[in-house]
Amino acid sequence: MDWPSVSNVREVELQLLAPVRSRTTWLLVEEGTPYIPCAFCTNHFLKRWPRELEGDNRVILRVSGQRIEGRAVRVVDAEEVVAVARRSAQKYGGSRAVSAAVEAAESNVNKRPEDDAPDASYWLFRIEPR
C-alpha cells in the first residue's frame, strides 16, 4: 500500500481476527507509516477492541476499496506518540479528544516506557505488515 497516497482518507474499516468484528476508525499516516488512534481507551464499555488486540494483534484494514492485512502494534514511545498525535490534531482539528491526546502525549515525553500508565486513555497503534 502506498500509505502517503491515502493520508487524506479520514476513516477506514478496522477488523480484528479474534474476535471477528470491525469498526470504523481514523487513519493517520506519519512519514509513510500508518497508525490507528484510539481515544477514551479507559472506557471499557465503549472500547473493547484495544484490549482484544493484546491477545491477537492481527488486523485487516479496508482503505479506499483495498484490503490490507497487518498487525496492530501499540506505540509506547512518547516521542512517536506526540508526533502522530500532532498529525491527528492537524487532520481532525477541533476535537477535544485530539487536543487532550496531544497534551497527554507531550506531558509523557520524558517518561520511560515502563513509567507509562497501562490505562492511559489515548492509545496509538502502528500498523505493520503481517
pTM beyond 0.85, yes or no: no
SS3 of residue 32 by DSSP: coil
Nearest CA-CA partner of 124 in 19, 44, 53, 43: 53
Domain ranges of the chain: 3-129
Domain 3-129 has CATH 1.10.3720.10: no
Convert 33-92 into a string of H (helix), E (strand) and C (coil). Answer: EEEEEECCCCCCCCCCHHHHCCCCCEEEEEECCEEEEEEEEECCCHHHHHHHHHHHHHHC
pLDDT digit string, tens, across residues 25-82 = 999 999 999 999 887 776 777 788 888 998 899 999 999 999 999 999 999 887 888 8
